[in-house]
Amino acid sequence: MELENEWREYTYQWLPEKYDDEKEPILKISKSSFGSYQWCPKRYEFQYILKMPIDTSEAMYKGTVIHNAREDFFNTFDIKKAENLSHSELVDYCLSLYPIDDYTDMYQTMSIFEANRFQEAKEEGTLEDFLPVINEILLDAEITIAADTHPDYPLTRDYKVHLQGIIDRMFKDGDIYVPLELKTGAWKDWKKTMMRKEMAFYKILFENTPDEKLVEMGLDPEIPISHWGWYYPDSNHIYVEDAKKSSINSVMKGIAKLLHAYENEQFETKYFYKTCANCSFFGICEAADAESWI
């Protein structure tokens, strides 16, 4: 696998016709940009290609604050200090590691969850795996997308793309790694497909990160990601499952479809009144404008 310093530059303002020029950047695909394209290709074009700013919503602000607080929690947690605490003391200790702000109720939920998980690990003799092996870590990788990856969106050639993403947390469970994504919204069953794609993106990213980089982070490239999961503390919902090959294939096809959009300079709209009304680009989207008159 190529080392990071041998990679080509990468950008969202990618030009397929210049791909053969080694001095030109390849396409950058982050977990966020891929999610944006899945949500609406036109939104992706506005945000990532045209570089139009997006509005900062309360949900986005809340997500940033709580993600930062949880990262600090694991950076600060002292296993030795917690080892002899009772359950109620553990909850109080966990809560003390979170900031005092408007999200105390969620911190309380997460503190109870971590106290329960700590006690289970102590009883099972696995405290060495209580802390995550990854805690908000940025990873980079390069992968090649074959021209025939998506039969409905064939490409003119194979393309190498640059993947980038921040994995919230990843835990070691015996002889496997389990990435666990934190979400600060409410859980809905329809989100399962979306979450599986996010976790599949992380699995692809991790497995294609250069071994040297993983070793520098204290990770073992030989340990597989065979499971993944997500945690929605606002709904007290946590779910872990076997990694789905179908979700991995779906992500690879989604990347091929994104490349196809660049090749053809076509980023279609996906109008849906419940979500588009809150889009930062609602006022300049022709599809939204047309639908609003129906």
pLDDT (tens digit per residue) in 35-90 = 999 989 998 999 999 999 887 788 889 999 999 999 999 999 999 999 999 999 99
C-beta separation of 167 from 200 below 8 A:
no
Residue 287 counted as domain residue: no
Structural domain tally of the chain?
A: 2
Residues 156 and 199 in one domain: yes
Question: Percent of the chain, pLDDT > 70?
Answer: 90
Residues 123 and 152 in one domain: no
Residues 150 and 111 in one domain: no
Q: How far apart are CA 36 and CA 48, in angstroms?
A: 9
Question: Residue 272: its pLDDT value, please?
Answer: 62
Residues 107 and 208 in one domain: no
Name the helix (H) or strand (E) containing 43. Answer: helix 41-44
Domain range spanning residue 38? 4-56+132-264
Positive/negative CA dihedral, 133, 139, 142, 143: positive
Q: How far apart are CA 264 and CA 258, in angstroms?
A: 10
pLDDT at 1 over 50: no
Average pLDDT in the 174-182 region?
97
Q: How far apart are CA 175 and CA 109, in angstroms?
A: 29
Tokens in use for 227?
Answer: 């499971």
Residues 112 and 258 in one domain: no
Tokens in use for 105?
Answer: 């109720």
pLDDT at 252 over 90: yes
